Each structure stands twice: as C-alpha cells, then as structure tokens.
Structure 1
Amino acid sequence: MRDEETTPQTATGTLTPGAPAASRAAAPAPRTGPSPWTLRLVAIGLVLTALNLRPAITSLGALLEEVRDGLHMSGSVAGVLTSVPPLCFAVFGVMAPRLARRFGPGAVVCAGMVAITAGLVIRPLIGGTAGFLAASALALMGIAVSNVLMPVIVKRWFPDRVGSMTGLYSMALALGTSLAAAVTVPLTDAMGGSWKAGLGIWAVLAAAAILPWLPLLRARATAHDEPGPAAAAQPQAPELRITRSRTAWALACFFGLQATAAYITMGWMPQIFRDAGVSAGTAGVLLAVTMAMGVPLAFVIPRVAARMRTQGPIVVFLGACGLTGYAGLYLAPSGGAWAWALLLGISNCAFPLALTMIGMRARSGAGVVRLSAFAQSTGYLISIPGPLLVGVLYQHSGGWGVPIALMAALMVPQMVMGVLAGRDRTIEDES
C-alpha cells in the first residue's frame, strides 16, 4: 500500500519559484518518509529484539538439570516445562493483533522486551516451581507477541526491503538461539556455578533491546507505525475471514510442520547420535552445527525468496535436504554424522522462509498482522505434539527407526503445504 510505504515521497504537484501565493497555499505539502536515522534505529531494534527471542528458552535447556535439582522439580514437571514455549507462543500470540491496533506494533514490541527482561530477572529469584513457571510464562508472553509483530514492523517500515530485513532479523534470531545454547554453561561456571546467575544474565541483553524502541514510541500514531487515514480507508477483510483463506491455512500448516521438525531436532538429535556411538561432546557440537547453519542461510534465503514470484522451489529444496538428512540418520547415523547435521541445518531454514512468506502473502499492514498471528499461533499449536510423540515412539519401539521414519514422513506434508503457501497470491484476494 502506498500509504504504508516508508520510502521518501514527494507530492505530485510542484511549484516554480515564481508561482502565485494562492497556488502555493493550495498546493499539497511535500510528503516525506522517515529519516535515515529513524530507519537505522528501527533496524537496530529489530536485530536486538530478534537476539532475545530464544535465549530465555535455550539457556534454560542448557541448565535444565541444575534447575530441576535446585527447585526439586519432578521429571514430569520438567517435561511440561519443555512444552511450555510453543503453547505460550500459540496462546499469547493471538493477543498481538489487538494490542498492535490499540498501541501500535513498535510499542507492543517494546513492552514485549520489558516482559522478557522482567521474566528473566524474576524467575531465578523465586524459590518455588510455580513461581518459576509463572516468570517463565511472562518472558514467553513477551516473546510471543514480538514473534508475531516482527514481520509487521518489517512490512510497514521497510516495504521495499521485506526479504533483506526479514533475513537480517532471522539471522539475528538464529544467532541468539545458538549463542545462548553455547555460552550459558561457560558463563554459569565463570560466575561461580550458580544456575540462577546463568539464567539471569540474559536479562541484560533483553534490557538493551528496550532502548531503541523508546524514541519511536512518540511516533507510534503516525502512518509509519499505524495505518494512516488512507490506509484505514482501504477495504480490509474482517478478522474472522482469515480462516476462509486457503493460503492462510497452508501457511499455518507449513509453519507448524517446520516448527515441529525444529523442536524435534533441538530436543532429540543429540540423543540419536549418542545412541549411535557418538560421544556426548561431539553430539553437542553436531547440534551446534545444525543450529549455526541458520545464521548465514537465514539472511540469504529471505532475500532470494522475496525476488521470486512463488517460493515453492525453495520449499522443495529445503524439504529434499531434510529427507536426505533423515535417511542418513536412519542408515548410517554415526558414519555420516557431520553431513546429516549440515543437511538438517539447511532444512530447518524453512523458518525464515515462512516469516518471509507471511510478509508477502498480505498486501496491507493490517493483513500482515492478522496473517502473522494466525499462522504462528496455529502453527505453534500444531508443533506441540511432535517432540512428545517422538519420545513415546522411541520408548516403546526401543530404537530410533520408527521415530526417524515419522520425522521423514512429516517432511512430505510440510513440502506440500509450503508449495501451496508459496503461490503468488494474497489473503486479501481470497477474502
């Protein structure tokens, strides 16, 4: 939409120096977009926000055994704790569109960073399991609304650079994920071995992410943060109609299936390698390699996808990498471990591709808000059973053959849904 574009614009009517005063008064005033300084500030805010969208989760995973012992947490409660993130993403993500309409996307993301900071500060200080879960939920609520609104901010502030900006913050998100997984334990050891300090230190990074948004809060009522009068005048689909869009459903299913694959990989891949005879240290490095693949590719894939009318070929390529990686895990898990880790890392880059398609499958800012909330909330609900089902199959079958077959089988509908979601159409067309 023209009214939401943030590139500098000028009025079509121009005046010559000698034009009459009346003509000067009647001529439309030149219209300019945000300053380069403002756009740089938004870009910094996007990167710092993205860095904070996973450390609350992966830092806890690195210290889960210490947290269990410190809080006297049962194994079943610890299992519930590992399933809380996608549930919170689904439940709290639904709130994002209403909050964005009321306060503006930038203000809500800023509040999300405040919630993450508060949750990370509070949860190590609370002695009981219930309080720890509540503080974790507070941080996850901030992550959930920010998850949904990141594509919205990219669409509104950088409408002509959706691919490159999505790639930038996707790369930062992958970096934050792998960084927290890699350095939480060494940081904890450096601070005396206290798991409370190891979890709480990440609040410093979250607090830093608040700062770039503060100067932008004053401008949230402008057309660059909320739809202006012309944008509001555009015909927009009622909120309930998004459930009638085949593209929205295809994108939600694609998002959910790729999230399922990612959570299974993060939760179970090291154990698959260890059961195949790979050492614990090497298994951890292999997982780090898989996660690290998302850093460069998360920047490249959205840029390529934004230049294509349909994203189906990228979906098929990523799916083929995943199928090959699962086949390798099934046939020779230890012999080609490094190759399978690389291939699964490439396959997991369906996540930044899904975020890019959210920005491309809606024409308006309001449409992106609705599509992002629907696709991510529904998708995270779809992803919840996958890791649990893999654990059940592993326990009852006594090996990894059946679980790996399930992982490979899920890759097929992921490819189908991704091809459907990648078609050149928008949810407004289908409404």
Structure 2
Amino acid sequence: MNSHKSMTSLLIAIFLIALNLRPAVTSIGPLLDTIRNDLNLTNSEVSLLTAVPVICMGLFAPLAVHWLNKFGQKRGISLLIVLIGLLTLIRAWLNDYVSLLVTAFVIGVAIAIIGPILSSLIKEKFPTRTASAIGVYSLGMGAGATLSAGLTGVLYVWIGEEWEYALAFWSALALLAYLVWFVAMKPEKNEATVVIEREHVATSFRSPWTNSRAWLILLFFGFQASLFFSLTTWLASAASELGFNVIEAGSVISVLTVSQIVANIFIPLLLEKFPNRSFWIYSSLFIGTIGIVLLLTGNVALIWPASILLGFTLGGLFPLALLLPLDETKDAFEANAWTAMVQTGGFIMGGLVPLAIGILYDWSGTHQMTYYVMLALIVGMFVVTVLLNKGNVKALVER
C-alpha cells in the first residue's frame, strides 16, 4: 500500500514538474503582437523570445548527464524548478527586450536539463508502465501549455493590459511543483552505491552519438518539436491575420492545446493495450495533414477544426517521441544519455524553425508559407518513421 501511495505521489510530482516546462515559452504566443508593438520589435526579433529557450533546450540537454551525476534526481530537479520560478517571476519588473531574452535563455537551460532526468526517472521507477508514466509527463506539459496559452491573454486584459505581469503569473506553478516534488522524492541512495551502479552499467553502455537509430529518433523528435513550437508561436498570429483580437486568437491556441491534452491522456492509455508505435504515429500524421490543408484554404471558420486536428496530432506525437529513446535503451543511465542526445538536436530544430517562420513572415507578409513549412515537417516525420521501421525489420532478420 505504501509503495502504491509512493508511486502515486511521484506521478503527481512528475505531472507538476512537467507543468512548468512550457509556460515560459507558450505564454509569449498570445501576446506576441502586443509585446512586438510595445517594444517596437520586428517579427523576427519577437520570435526570438520563444526560439531562444527552445534552442537552449537542445544545446544544453547534454548537461543533464553531468547534472544528474553531481546533484542526483531530487536535489537536481529541485534547484532547476526554483530557478524557473524565480526567473519567470522577475519578468514582472525586468520587462525590457534584453531582460526577456536573458530570462528566456536561462529558463531554456533549466528545462533542457530537467527533461532527460525526468525520462530516466520514469525508466527507473516505472519499468513496466513506461507508456503510462510518459503519458502523465506529456499530459503535464500539455496542461502547462494549455493554461499559459489560453489564460495569458485573459490575464493580460484582467490585470489591466500589463503583459509583464501576465507573463510573471506563471511562476506560481513552480512553487507548487517544488513543494510536492520535495515531499514525493524519498532520500536518494548513498552516493557510493550510485557510483558502483554507474560503473556496473558502463561496460554495456551504448553511446547514442554513434548509433544510427538514435540519429533517426533525434530527427523525429526535432520535426515534432518544430511543429509544436511553430504552432504555439505563430497560430495566434495567423488568427490575428484573419481578423481575430487578442482574446479570440488566444482561444484558438486554447482549442489547440485542449485537444492536445485529450490526445495526451488517451494515446498513452491506448499504447498500453495496442503498443504498435508506428500505427499511432501514422494516424497522428494523417490527422495533422488534414489540419494543415484546412489552414491553407484561408477560410476563417476552418481555423477551429484545424486547431482541433492539429492538437490531436501534437498530443499523439509528443509522448511517442518521448517513448522512442526509452524503447531503445536498457536502463535509466542509458535512457538519460539517449534522451539528452535526442533532445539536443530536436530542440535546436524546434527553436530554429519558428524563427525561420518569423523571417519568412517578415519577407512575405502572409502565413501561407508558415503552413507549407508545417506540412514539410509532417512529411519529414513520415519519412523518418518508415526508416525506423526498416531498421527494426533488418534487426529481426539479423537475429
């Protein structure tokens, strides 16, 4: 019974930690035009506020291995969640462009380190229920994105059109996460025991940097991250282009992220019963393709069903992208290294693509090119999935 309670409290803690891994990025989207106009920025400059933390999530993901070795799971994540909370809070007072970029940078580094550590924790603590635990993790991130994207515009109006306070509000999530995490995590093992365990697994450790399947998984993660951050950064702007106000544009993002949460809940549950990863990937990509085609029509009314379909796509792809490196690894240490490698390249892609969209938008003055970029990302994921499946068949033949 105690063990069951312990695992339940740990899942709640994982959910709350994950809840903090998106608001610093996704809260910018609904206020993108407001911040741009207030600070006299170009589309390219304002898109850096979301691109920088995402690129940092990639560049600094390898630090997760060293951070875990130095601080362990409990203290390591505690320090990082406090950092995210404090830097989100000070946006209320440090609200010039440079300060926003600096906080975005450091928050991105913290998120980069937390992600692989959480994945390795799930691999270690939930070896037989990995898909379900990853579902809780991805649900937390989806919920954080939904709350921040949907309510930031409302907060902005309610507070009195002070965008800096609307952004800083989300620091409250970090305090809640810290308290629950600190209670849920038991004291960690003696450091000497941990070192012995790491030495034991080192002999069979497979480096992801020399593994072709790891590189394919990196590409898949990068394409889905690019699609997610492109949509959360630019869909509200695309709605504004169609004549929507701040609240209405934020509602479009809310619809996207609510449908994403629905998929976050049901896809991992379905994976427990029907574990074929490829089926769910292809299904998600097909739904996403329909959503992009609806956006390409330019019909104002179709932006709503398009948002629902694309939300299902994002909600299905993200837990699958998190599961792929865990499927390939044997233990928590290897999972940490593979996840760090995959997220290194994946989040760099996820940060650069929305930035490129901002440049294209400045150049073209329309979001039609944005939709074609998103369609290309879906095609890329389809190709990578085909290649991963071929690799699986080859491995079975060689056995």
Please, what TM-score do these two structures have when normalized by structure 1?
0.80
> 1:202-213, aligned counterparts within 5 Å?
202-213=170-181
In structure 2, the residue corresponding to 1:201 is in which secondary structure? Answer: helix
Contact 1:112 1:141 in 2 (8 A): no
Q: What does residue 24 of structure 1 align with?
A: none
Matched, 1:262 2:225: no
Matched, 1:48 2:34: no
> Does the 8 Å CA contact 1:148/1:373 hold for their aligned counterparts?
yes
Hey, what's the Cα distance between the residues in 2 that align with 1:399 and 1:204?
Answer: 36
Matched, 1:137 2:105: yes
- The reply to whether residue 119 of structure 1 matches residue 87 of structure 2 is yes
Q: Tell me, yes or no, if the aligned pair for 2:47 and 2:233 is still in contact at 8 Å.
A: no
Q: Does 1:92 align with 2:60?
A: yes
User: Whole-Å Cα distance in 1 between the matches of residues 155 and 29 of structure 2?
Assistant: 14
Matched residue, 2:3? 35
- Is residue 162–residue 306 contact of structure 1 (8 Å, CA) maintained in 2? no
CA separation in 1, counterparts of 2:331 and 2:274? 19
Aligned mates of 1:144, 1:309 — CA distance in 2: 28
3-state DSSP of counterpart to 1:126: coil
Listed as ranges, the matches of 1:385-404 within 5 Å are: 385-397=352-364, 399-404=366-371
Aligned residue in 1 for 2:290? 324
Of 123, 127, 134, the residue aligned with 1:159 is 127
Single out whichever of 129-138 and 148-157 deviates more from structure 2: 129-138
Judging changes above 3 Å, is the alpha-carbon distance between structure 1 residues 199 and 302 closer, same or farther for their aligned structure 2 residues? same
What is the CA–CA distance in structure 2 between the aligned matches of 1:382 and 1:310, rounded to whole Å?
A: 26
Which amino acid in structure 2 is aligned with residue 411 of structure 1? I
Which residue does 2:71 correspond to in 1? 103
Higher RCO (CA 8 Å, separation ≥ 6 residues): 2
Q: Which runs of 5+ in 1 are unaligned?
A: 1-7, 9-33
Instruction: Identify if the C-alpha distance between structure 1 residues 272 and 192 changes in structure 2 by more than 3 Å, giving closer, same or farther.
Output: closer
Among residues 305, 322, 332, which one is paired with 1:365 in the alignment?
A: 332
Distance 1:101 1:246, change over 3 A: same
Where in structure 2 are there 5+ consecutive unaligned residues? none
For residues 272 and 327 of structure 2, the distance between their equivalents in structure 1, rounded to whole angstroms, comes to 8
* Secondary structure in 1 matching 2:189: coil
Q: Equivalents in 2 of 1:202, 1:347: separation in Å?
A: 26
Query: Mean Cα displacement is larger for which, 394-403 or 82-91?
Result: 394-403
Question: What is the root-mean-square deviation in Å for CA atoms of aligned residues?
Answer: 3.1
Q: Is the 8 A contact 2:13 2:184 kept in 1?
A: no
Alpha-carbon deviation of 1:232?
4.3
Structure with max Cα Rg? 1
Q: Which moved more, 1:44-53 or 1:122-131?
A: 122-131
Superposition deviation, residue 127 in structure 1: 5.8
**C-alpha deviations, 1:114-141, integer Å up to 9, x for none?**
1111212233233654334323333232
The structure 1 residue matched to 2:304, chosen from 328, 335, 338, is 338
Conserved? CA contact 1:106–1:153, under 8 Å: no
Measure how far apart 1:319 and its partner are. Answer: 1.0
Bigger shift: 298-307 or 202-211?
298-307
Give 2:330's aligned amino acid.
R
Report deviation, 1:184: 2.3
Give the counterpart of 1:412 among 379, 386, 389: 379
Letter in 1 for 2:84: I
Q: Paired residues, what number?
A: 391
Which of residues 124, 132, 149 is equivalent to 2:117? Answer: 149
Contact 2:131 2:272 (8 Å CA) reproduced: yes
* Amino acid of the structure 2 residue aligned with 1:264: S
Range moving further from structure 2, 386-395 or 249-258 = 386-395
Mapped partners of 1:40, 1:381: distance in 2: 33
Higher helix share: 2
- Partner residue of 1:13? none
Indicate conservation of the 8 Å contact 2:73/2:117, yes or no: yes
Residue of structure 2 aligned with 1:57, choices 25, 29, 34: 25
CA gap of 1:178–1:337, structure 2 versus 1, over 3 A, is same
In structure 2, relative to structure 1, the CA distance for the partners of 1:249 and 1:133 (3 Å cut) is: same
CA contact (8 A) 2:159 2:165 kept: yes
Higher mean C-alpha displacement, 263-272 vs 365-374: 263-272
Q: Percent identity at matched positions?
A: 25
